[in-house]
A = this chain, B = another copy of it.
Amino acid sequence: MYQINENYQKLPGSYLFSTIGKKVAAFQEENPDKDIIRLGIGDVTQPIAPAIIEAMHKAVDEMGDAATFRGYAPDLGYEFLRSAIAENDYKARGCDISADEIFVSDGAKSDSGNIQEIFAVTNRIAVCDPVYPVYVDSNVMAGRTGTYDPKTETWSDVIYMPCTAENHFVPEFPKEVPDMIYLCLPNNPTGTTLTKDQLQLWVDYANKNGAVIIYDAAYEAYISEDNVAHSIYECEGAKTCAIELRSFSKNAGFTGVRLGFTVVPKELKCGEVSLHSMWARRHGTKFNGAPYIVQRAGEAVYSPAGKEQLAKQVAYYMNNARTIKEGLKDAGFDVYGGVNAPYIWLKTPDKMTSWEFFDYLLEKANVVGTPGSGFGPSGEGYFRLTAFGNYENTVKALERIKAL
């Protein structure tokens, strides 16, 4: 008789955003007249920029013509896209990353979940707490996290690095040295980040201790401060210790278009073994490329028109972030983030738990946010609101919250 992967049975509950989705759907069904404003899941609302729409139409036409039709894409992704990425996201920032160190994918969620596959199951992972749940969940599925303690909501073999108001959301080096360190900067969910100098310390730590950093920079487009790195490769020595994950979902609104990429420098080696070769093998065996049309959409992100249009889109969301942050401050909340990231992180009032505040906000203000505890035990007592709504709804949501 076949057996299942028992690690799945260890996972408590369901994926955070599925749970929220179900709760909201149930509330809407019971209250069909209520106008719910969703500032929960980090999904964008602005339409795809005109330059990208134009590029997709052109690519669709190419696919309909035998002379320009494209079948399977090259294993790593099309050269036109990888070159645009290398040029704009790396060389322009002084990072020596070449096009053939870039692996185009269907999005950073897939890469975040899949990247652990090339590492030993015995590796010990460290995560910021709170953080995007996919890192821990995908490691649970792989059997890398030990046993779950429902009381503390922690895994025995995961090293948690608490990031709270007390330490200004800056993770401290753990007592036990981890093998794999997940860093999501700017951070989801806290909306805070490290300075480049602080990040350099992590790179030095990883190189010194033989750890690998999985660096998720999905929100880099929202960085507004000069002393914050857009890529970990701005730090000296990062190429020998870090893999970087990037997304088009937040800078270009591709949550429904699906595109991302992972950088694995050729210098990154475990002993003699090149992680670049390993990821290439994984990519070539268990994946078959992002759609041609979508890769052309990605290329348009880097066109002059695309850049201009997307800068406005990012500014639009950051204006929402300011609106939320200032509105919450006016209402007496303790708030964080929102300066280098589209997320606002707030302390729940009156010692409510995160889920209590979720229910309270949904029922009383018909506003959906995300409970901080869903991102890790140190997220308890916090709550995330996103700047990805449209402006009118964001203003309306804040009015409702202020009126509570």
Contacts and interface: CB of A to CB of B under 8 A. Distances in A.
A284 interface: yes
A3 B50 CA distance: 45
Contacts of A294: 291, 293
A14 B138 CA distance: 26
A400 to B, nearest CB: 22
Contacts of A87: none
Contacts of A291: 256-258, 291, 294
Number of copies of this kind of chain in the complex? 2
Contacts of A121: 5
B212 A8 contact: no
A288 B138 contact: no
A63 B257 CA distance: 9
Nearest to A179: B2
A63 B69 contact: no
A179 B1 CA distance: 6
B57 A69 contact: no
Nearest to A9: B273
Nearest to A278: B8
A170 interface: no
Given A63-B47, A284-B18, A2 B293 contact: no
A321 to B, nearest CB: 18
22 contacts: A2-B210, A3-B270, A4-B118, A4-B270, A4-B275, A11-B281, A15-B284, A41-B72, A47-B64, A48-B69, A53-B63, A56-B63, A63-B256, A71-B253, A72-B255, A106-B287, A109-B286, A141-B285, A141-B286, A256-B291, A257-B292, A291-B291
